[in-house]
Structure 1
Amino acid sequence: MDLQRRRLSQGLLAAAGLLVLPGPAAARPDMTRTMGTTVADTGLAGYRFESRVFAGAEGRRRHRVWLAIPDRTPPPPAGFPALYLLDGNAVLSRLRPEWLTALDEATPPVLVMIGYDTDLLFDGEARHYDYTPAPEGQASVRDARRPQREGGGAAAFIERIESTITPWVASRTQVDANRKALWGHSFGGLFTLFTLCTRPQAFGIYMPVSPSLGWADNLLRQSLDHLAARPPERNIPVWLCRGDNEVRVTAEMNADQLRQRKQQGNAAFNHFADDLDRIPRVEAHRRLYPGLGHGDTFSAALPEALRIVAGLAPDPAWS
C-alpha cells in the first residue's frame, strides 16, 4: 500500500475515533456480569457439550474452552465445519437454542468457544493481552487509555490456539479444515484480522466484528501490507461487519458533530474493507448493522456467523 493511501487511512481512523476502543456511550460490555445458566448447563437436542481448561501464558489467567459438537452419526465425510469464537464465556452465555436448531437443514458446525477460567462474561485484562498484537521487535504494548493493562500477546495466542486447542478439538470430533472459521468482536475482531494477515492458513474463514482497527498507532495497517505482499495461496472469505452507530461520544459533541463522527467511522470501515478486498484471493464481504453501537454488534453478528459457517445463504444485507 502506498504512503498516500496509508496516510488517508490513518486520517480516517483518527477522525472516526477508531484509534482506540469506543467509549462508554457506544454500549461497551459490562465487565462485571457473570455467565449464569447456559445451554451447556441445560442441554440442547442435537448438540453435546464438553469443556477443558488450558494453562495460560506464564502469569496469565487459564483459558477455558467449551466445545459444542453436533450430535450426528456419522459425521460428514470431510468432517464438520468449525467455528472458533473468542470471548467464549460471553458467547456461551448469549447462545440461543433457536440459533442452533435453525441450522438443521444445513451442516451444523462444531463450536469452539475460547474463554477464560472465570465466571465473568469478559476478562478485560486477559483479553486485552491475548487479543492485541505488539509492534515488531516489542514484547508488549500499552494502551494510552488503559496504561495499567499490558497488550501484545496476540502472536503467542495464535500459536497457543494452533498448538494446544486445535489438537484437542481434533481429538474430540472430525473437523473439515477448509471450513474452519475464526470469529471475534472488538479486540477479538482485531485479533481475527491480525491472524488473517500474519497466518492466513490457520483458518479457512475469518469473521471480524467491530474490529479495533487503529490499535497501537494503526499497527493492523502494517499487517495488511504484509498480507498484500504475500497473499494467501487459496481463496479466503472474510466477513467484516460493524454497527453504523459505533462512535465515542463526549460531552462537548453536538448533534452535527455526532453525525459527522458516525459518517467518518463508517467511511474508515469501508476504506479498510476496500483495501482488504484488493488483496489477491481475499474475498471481503461487509455489513453495517443499522442503528447498532459497538457492544450491540456482539449478539447481532453471532446467529449470522453460525448460518454462514453452516453453509446457509447469508442475509442479503451483506455485500
Structure 2
Amino acid sequence: MVKRLWTLFLLLWLCRFLSGQPSQVIPEIGESARQMFDMEQHDLTYNGREYRLYIAQPAGGGQTPRPVLYMLDGNGHFPRVVNLVEEVSDNTPLIVGIGYPSPMAYPKERTRDYTVPVEGNDEGGGAEDFYRFIVDKVKPFIEANYAMDTTRQTLCGHSHGGLFTLYVMFNHTRSFQHYLAASPSIWWGEGAIVPEHRPLFSHIPHSVTITLGEYEENPGLDPSRKNLAPEILRKKEQRKGGISSRELAVIIAEEVPDCRFILFEGKNHGSSIPEFLKEAVRVAGE
C-alpha cells in the first residue's frame, strides 16, 4: 500500500514538473537558514478553518523593529525563501508565511481563499473572508508578539496568491505599503480582479511589483511545452485572453509612481518562484 501511494505521489510530482507547475513537495529548511533565523510555527483558527503561520526573524534580533514580509502559500514558499537568504542585516524582514496544517506545499484550500467570486464557479470566491482573517487574526498576532515596523509591510503571493495580492491592493490598499504579485492568475473570472472604475486607487500604495516568467508570456519559447499532455495544453489555452500582467502593470503605473514589471528570462510558472521570492525579500527590506 505504501509503495503504491509513493508511486502515485511521484507521478503527481512528474506531471506538475512537466507542466511547469510548482512541486507539491515541501522543501527541507537548510542548516544555514536555521543558523540565521529563529523560526516558529503557530496554528490559528478562523470561522472554523485551520491555518498555520510560519515565522522567521533574524537570530538574536528580537527587539529590533523590522519590516514585515507577509507571504502567501507559506507551506511551500516559507522554506524556499529562508533557504534563499544569504545573509541578514537590520533591513532583513520578519518573514510571515501564511499557510495550512497540511503536508502539501500548495493545498487545495488556497483556491477557496485566494480567489474572488465568479458566477458559475463554486470552487473559489473566499478572498474577502481570507482578507478578514489576515487583518483580524494574523496581523494582530504578529504585532503583539514581534518587534515590527508597521510602516514597512509587504504582501506577496504567486499565481492564485498573486491574484489575492491584487485583490487586497485594489480593495484594501491601506492594509500594506508594498505589494508584489508574481504570475498572478488574472485569467480567473476573465479579469474580474481588475476594477472597472478609474482611478483605480483612492490611496496610492508605496510600491507595486508584478513579475512573470518569460515562458508564461511567450509559451512557444518554452522547451518543456512539447512534453505537456493535450489536456494540460487545452487548460492553458483556456486561460488566455483578457488583460495581461504586463498590460495591467502599465495601467497601474499611470497612478502608482513606483510600479515595476519584471520578466524573469528563461523561466516558466513554476521555475520563476525562486526569483520572485528573492525580489520579495528585497522589496520588503527597502
Shorter-chain-normalised TM-score: which range? Answer: 0.7 to 0.9
Partner of 1:53 in structure 2? 43
Q: Are residues 1:159 and 2:132 paired?
A: yes
Partner of 1:297 in structure 2? 272
The change in CA–CA distance for 1:211 and 1:74 in structure 2 (over 3 A counts) is closer
Partner of 1:128 in structure 2? 111
Inter-partner Cα distance in structure 2 for 1:235 and 1:54: 28
The change in CA–CA distance for 1:73 and 1:190 in structure 2 (over 3 A counts) is closer
Match of 2:85 among 83, 100, 104: 100
Indicate if the aligned counterparts of 1:46 and 1:72 stay in contact, CA closer than 8 A.
Answer: no
Match of 1:37 among 18, 22, 28: 28
The CA deviation string for residues 239-287 of structure 1, in whole angstroms up to 9 with x for no partner, is 11000101496778xxxxxxxx9xx98x9322111111112x4531110
Match of 1:67 among 55, 61, 67: 55
Partner of 1:233 in structure 2? 203
Partner of 1:272 in structure 2? 248
Q: Are residues 1:191 and 2:182 paired?
A: no
Partner of 1:180 in structure 2? 153
- How far has the Cα of 1:295 moved from its partner? 1.0
The change in CA–CA distance for 1:232 and 1:83 in structure 2 (over 3 A counts) is farther
TM-score normalised per structure 2? 0.79
Indicate if the aligned counterparts of 1:103 and 1:310 stay in contact, CA closer than 8 A.
Answer: no
Match of 1:82 among 68, 85, 97: 68
The CA deviation string for residues 23-68 of structure 1, in whole angstroms up to 9 with x for no partner, is 985411233x3x25325x886233211111112444x4x1110111
Indicate if the aligned counterparts of 1:235 and 1:282 stay in contact, CA closer than 8 A.
Answer: no
TM-score normalised per structure 1? 0.71
Question: What is the aligned length?
Answer: 254
- Letter paired with 1:272: L
Inter-partner Cα distance in structure 1 for 2:82 and 2:44: 26
Indicate if the aligned counterparts of 2:37 and 2:58 stay in contact, CA closer than 8 A.
Answer: yes
Inter-partner Cα distance in structure 1 for 2:188 and 2:205: 27
Tell me the secondary structure at the aligned position of residue 273 of structure 1: helix
Inter-partner Cα distance in structure 1 for 2:88 and 2:212: 24
Indicate if the aligned counterparts of 1:209 and 1:241 stay in contact, CA closer than 8 A.
Answer: yes
Q: Structure 2 matches for 1:190-209, cutoff 5 A?
A: 190-209=163-182
Indicate if the aligned counterparts of 2:173 and 2:205 stay in contact, CA closer than 8 A.
Answer: no
Inter-partner Cα distance in structure 2 for 1:43 and 1:214: 36
The CA deviation string for residues 151-201 of structure 1, in whole angstroms up to 9 with x for no partner, is 000011011001001111112212212210011000000000011000000
The CA deviation string for residues 196-234 of structure 1, in whole angstroms up to 9 with x for no partner, is 00000011100000001121122012x3x34x4362434
- How far has the Cα of 1:69 moved from its partner? 1.5
User: Structure 1, unaligned stretches of length 5 or more?
Assistant: 1-22, 143-148, 253-260, 312-319
Q: Percent identity?
A: 25
Inter-partner Cα distance in structure 2 for 1:268 and 1:128: 20
Match of 1:28 among 16, 21, 24: 21
Indicate if the aligned counterparts of 2:115 and 2:125 stay in contact, CA closer than 8 A.
Answer: yes
- Letter paired with 1:30: S
- How far has the Cα of 1:293 moved from its partner? 0.6
Where relative contact order (Cα < 8 A, 6+ residues apart) is larger, the structure is 1
The change in CA–CA distance for 1:44 and 1:282 in structure 2 (over 3 A counts) is same
Tell me the secondary structure at the aligned position of residue 171 of structure 1: helix
Inter-partner Cα distance in structure 1 for 2:249 and 2:61: 39
Tell me the secondary structure at the aligned position of residue 151 of structure 2: strand
Partner of 2:9 in structure 1? none
